[in-house]
Structure 1
Amino acid sequence: MSEPKVEENTTQEEKKDSVENISEKLEASAIGTESTNPQNTQDKEAEESASADASLLKKLLRSRLEEDNSAIEVERQNPDSPLYSCKRFEDLNLKQELLQGLYAMGFTKPSKIQETALPNLLSNPPQNLIAQSQSGTGKTAAFSLAMLSRIDTNLLYPQALCLAPTMELAAQITDVVRQMGQYMKNLKIASAIRGNMVPRNVELKEQVIIGTPGTVFDWSSPRINAFSLKKLRVFVLDEADVMIDQQGHQDICIRIVRGLPKDCQIMLFSATYKNPVIEFAKKIVGNPIIIRLKRSQESLSYIKQFYVRCESFETKYRALTNIFGLLTVGQSIIFCQTRKTARDVVVRLTEDGVPCELLSGELDVMQRAAVIKRFREGKCKMLITTNVTARGIDVDDVNLVINFDLPIGQDGHPEFETYLHRIGRTGRFGKFGVAINFVDTNTMGALDQILKHFGRPIDKLDASDPEQIEKITQ
């Protein structure tokens, strides 16, 4: 039986797909076929997959930490207990080799989430934590630093465990931990992901295990018995909202937590927390500090919002071509509700000689990363997509977003968070942007709900009037 995949401060080659391969795959399959679904919902993005993939895309594409201007809200069971924060890594009493790792990774000072989380994560006795933080704000570095601070590399058995919802995300976390711990002697990391096998009844010698729930649980079960949950000092659940929303993963997480020693430090990190999820998290994490972000809608003040009445695909497409024919647009994103609509728009634009790229769930994560990289570098000016990029994928310098279809949920009501994420791709970093919504008789009511929810004006636009179109960017 083969040994587990182990990271020992060695470099990995990043998986890359060429633009040519992506184009070939689009021509061969993406524009030709739909995946099947027994409930005949193949035209919708798979929500669990989309959110996990979006997080991975963010990690793959991130070139810098983002400044999150949202206010942080801290909740404690004992409000009189001290709450610490730090402005410098040097104030955390870290091991010198960990400071070296941080500097080598380009960290110069803690991000906002790190300022509050790290002093509490590194305190003694260990403090449990539930934290909400977007990808790109340093959350992975925060829990990686906490894990590496708690382990003893002279002890050759697993002491820290980190779970992620997908093997790709687990690989990204492994890379961060490896880079951060590159100066730690004898550090070894085991990747508990699908396909990696371990001998039965032989205890792992790696101090850190990073993997997906199913494989991790299998390794810890009496059948494999590769490590003991009772010996763990730290347990991390990343992308907790995605993990907990998946029933199978949720059950495994509960079983793992039940097997942990009472003094094991537990951390849950997530980009978003809906109320049912946060309540579940409180049940499995004893006496935690909870760090949440207060929603900031300040960015909407930098976005001019319009709507255009369109009663069919053809009228929407004519409005689209009129707008792009009269406006000087830097980069734009066009959101469609289904893969089919997105493909139809791409086909029509391509036939009319308009350069554009398709981004949807039909591409695998690495292909999507390549498309977004081209868009970010300015090699592609127009992106036609489904909700796959609405979940926190940030591309700078977008000055126009068009909702070819409004984001409508299965209950027929508008999805306010998705709408905010979509139009939030423009009007970033203090720049002004434009968002245009195509609506028909059936969705006009949803637009009214969006207007009331956000309290920002959405003006009517006549897409056949050149003067009106030219004025929207003034």
Structure 2
Amino acid sequence: MMETTFADLGLRSELLDSIHRLGFESPSPIQAQTIPLALSGSDIVGLSQTGSGKTAAFGLPALEAIDLELTATQVLILCPTRELAVQVCEEIHRLATALKGVSAIPVYGGAPIDRQMRGLRKGAHIVVGTPGRIMDHLKRKTLKTDAIRLCVLDEADRMLDMGFREDMEVILDQLPSERQTLFFSATMNKGVSGLIKAFSKDAQKISIERKSLTVDTIEQTYYEVRSRSKVEVMCRLLDLETDPRGIVFCNTKQMVEEACESLALRGYVVDRIHGDITQSNRERVIKKFREGSVEMLVATDVAARGLDIDDVNIVFNYDLPYDPEDYVHRIGRTGRAGRSGKSVTFVYGRDIYRLEAIERYTRQVVRRMKIPTLEEVEGRRTDQVFNQIRDRLEQGSFSNHEHLVDRLLDAGHTPTDIASALFDQLGKQEARESVAIVEDTEPFSETPRPARGGKNSGKHGRFRKKSYGRSAEKGSRSKGTFQANKKFSAKPFKRRSSSAGSNPGSNSQSKKQTDSSSLPKRRFKKPE
């Protein structure tokens, strides 16, 4: 069977030229199935995970749909977050490189609305925005909808989860009835199906099945680490990498600040984003990270939603996420565009039960790894210094420094002494402070240690979705419900019945019922 190419999908030559410039050779499954249907005018429901190429799947048809001679908004794309809106808009600009005259703008909260209003008045062909800010522009009548012929809802399930249902319905109601609607969602729930039923006509369903929710190009590992040792272990792992470029995920704003400061003190070029960072600063940080001037980004889940940077090679779950879906979104930031990536998760004690829930959810095993020793890290640093000097020697041309070498030789130093001194000096410049941790003295086993017991030790296990209370970014405690696991399996413990007849082997006649009034009183007051 011949492989489908972009030329087979019916796209105009300018878009094919843009695709060629971007280096894309063949469409992903979601692109190959969506684009021809979208070009035919059908409403579409696309079920696909993050990182599948769905932005181009609707971005290319959006560019095909617009009339460049008409200065009016013709395509509206709704996204759950401002970060995703910016990313989608940037991707559309890249796809339109060879298509001159296209105007696409992102509109979202936290940015000056007057600048957005100017772009809308000029008649931007494509508007990408969050439901809240789109509603603002509709109320101000700065967004004209009469010429809109295509509406895309990207991550529709996420928008519903964030409470945008009413806004989405109002927006869709105000669009022309003779329009094309494309829904994209990672899941199909009642909320999504309700929207599809109300706002689409004979929608064609496209489902991209995957055996697991995470891609095979991501190496998933975990380390048993106490909270106070996380920074040291993370630094050791980074020092073992060649040109690390990654994202560190934390559950709270405070932990983001602490982790960022700790990495900076160790000499890493690092910055952070979370809910308290202003939009302008967030965009500045993301731009620096995208350009490579920041090597590590520390973030909360909400702040990092929508990041689309292909060359991230490592992701740290500094804190284990409360929801398995967040784990999938986190590690999906690496291993993109066919590249390999690494996911590192820190757990300790009862965290292991939540990690098992993630394994069941993703249908993949996360391997336990041994923490690198100080000796291994030092050996790696030495190898890096050796490789740097060897590569420099192979490049040749040292005329600027020959006179310095001659001066050292004239002073009686041997070539070996000079080279050794340079190795030592360069090694000191490259070295970062490392400290011993208690985990260094603990024996390693690939089998995880069971969590410490306690009065609640039998209440861990599988997540129950939608049971976690308030957002972790607000600093609240998770209130998830767990089921008990035995030896880390999905099978729950079975409680013995309290009735005498439930145990045939017991001698119920020899046991007397104890009146509650005869029990000793608690020494400590029960917590409220």
> What band does the TM-score fall into relative to the shorter chain?
0.5 to 0.7
Q: Deviations over 1:194-231 (max 9, x none)?
A: 325769xx99766544444455455556x7386354x4
Partner of 2:439: 464
Partner of 1:45: none
5+ residue gaps, structure 1, are 1-84, 409-414
Cα gap change, 1:232 to 1:294, in 2 (>3 Å): same
Give the partner amino acid of 1:341. M
The percentage of aligned residue pairs carrying the same residue is 26
Looking at structure 2, the residues matched to 369 and 342 of structure 1 have their Cα atoms a distance apart, in angstroms, of 15
Report the structure number with the largest CA radius of gyration. Answer: 2
Partner of 2:351: 443
Partner of 2:151: 235
* TM-score, normalization by structure 1: 0.59
Shift of 1:266: 0.5
Q: Deviations over 1:232-258 (max 9, x none)?
A: 3222223433433343x4323212323
Contact 2:73/2:144 (8 A) holds in 1: yes
Cα gap change, 1:96 to 1:241, in 2 (>3 Å): same
Partner of 2:325: 417
Cα gap change, 1:466 to 1:425, in 2 (>3 Å): farther
Q: Does 1:114 align with 2:23?
A: no
Shift of 1:122: 0.7
Looking at structure 2, the residues matched to 464 and 117 of structure 1 have their Cα atoms a distance apart, in angstroms, of 50
Contact 1:307/1:438 (8 A) holds in 2: yes
Shift of 1:288: 1.4
Contact 2:29/2:208 (8 A) holds in 1: no
Q: Does 1:340 align with 2:237?
A: no
Contact 2:312/2:341 (8 A) holds in 1: no
Secondary structure (helix, strand or coil) at the match of 2:347 reads strand
The equivalent position to 1:139 in structure 2, one of 42, 51, 54, is: 54
* TM-score, normalization by structure 2: 0.54
Cα gap change, 1:253 to 1:204, in 2 (>3 Å): farther
Q: Does 1:273 align with 2:179?
A: no
The equivalent position to 1:359 in structure 2, one of 260, 272, 288, is: 272
Looking at structure 1, the residues matched to 239 and 360 of structure 2 have their Cα atoms a distance apart, in angstroms, of 29
Shift of 1:326: 12
Give the partner amino acid of 2:348. V
Partner of 1:320: 233
Contact 1:319/1:464 (8 A) holds in 2: no
Q: Does 1:162 align with 2:77?
A: yes
Cα gap change, 1:177 to 1:403, in 2 (>3 Å): closer
Partner of 1:57: none
Partner of 2:114: 195
Give the partner amino acid of 1:243. M
Cα gap change, 1:328 to 1:160, in 2 (>3 Å): closer
Looking at structure 1, the residues matched to 43 and 68 of structure 2 have their Cα atoms a distance apart, in angstroms, of 22
Q: Deviations over 1:308-366 (max 9, x none)?
A: 263xx43x358738x82998344376543323234334444555x45362433154432
Shift of 1:120: 0.5
Looking at structure 2, the residues matched to 121 and 418 of structure 1 have their Cα atoms a distance apart, in angstroms, of 30
Contact 2:273/2:282 (8 A) holds in 1: no
Cα gap change, 1:136 to 1:195, in 2 (>3 Å): farther
Secondary structure (helix, strand or coil) at the match of 1:161 reads strand
Give the partner amino acid of 1:120. L
Looking at structure 1, the residues matched to 173 and 181 of structure 2 have their Cα atoms a distance apart, in angstroms, of 12
Cα gap change, 1:469 to 1:110, in 2 (>3 Å): same
Matches within 5 A, 1:382-461: 384-387=298-301, 388-389=303-304, 396=311, 398=313, 403-408=317-322, 415-422=323-330, 435-440=344-349, 442-450=350-358, 454=363, 456=365, 459=368
Looking at structure 1, the residues matched to 142 and 217 of structure 2 have their Cα atoms a distance apart, in angstroms, of 56
Cα gap change, 1:169 to 1:469, in 2 (>3 Å): same
Q: Does 1:256 align with 2:171?
A: yes
Contact 1:150/1:234 (8 A) holds in 2: yes
Q: Deviations over 1:91-136 (max 9, x none)?
A: 334444444454455544433321111110011xx20012244566
Q: Deviations over 1:124-159 (max 9, x none)?
A: xx2001224456654333323323333444555544
Contact 2:224/2:348 (8 A) holds in 1: yes
Give the partner amino acid of 2:59. S
| Alignment coverage as a number of residue pairs | 364
- Compare relative contact order (CA 8 Å, sep 6+) and give the higher one, 1 or 2: 1
Cα gap change, 1:439 to 1:279, in 2 (>3 Å): same
Q: Deviations over 1:265-309 (max 9, x none)?
A: 111234x33624432442333321222333443757974644426
Looking at structure 2, the residues matched to 192 and 420 of structure 1 have their Cα atoms a distance apart, in angstroms, of 27
Looking at structure 2, the residues matched to 385 and 225 of structure 1 have their Cα atoms a distance apart, in angstroms, of 34
Looking at structure 2, the residues matched to 317 and 197 of structure 1 have their Cα atoms a distance apart, in angstroms, of 43
Cα gap change, 1:438 to 1:252, in 2 (>3 Å): closer
Looking at structure 2, the residues matched to 198 and 347 of structure 1 have their Cα atoms a distance apart, in angstroms, of 38
Contact 1:164/1:170 (8 A) holds in 2: yes
Q: CA RMSD in A?
A: 4.7
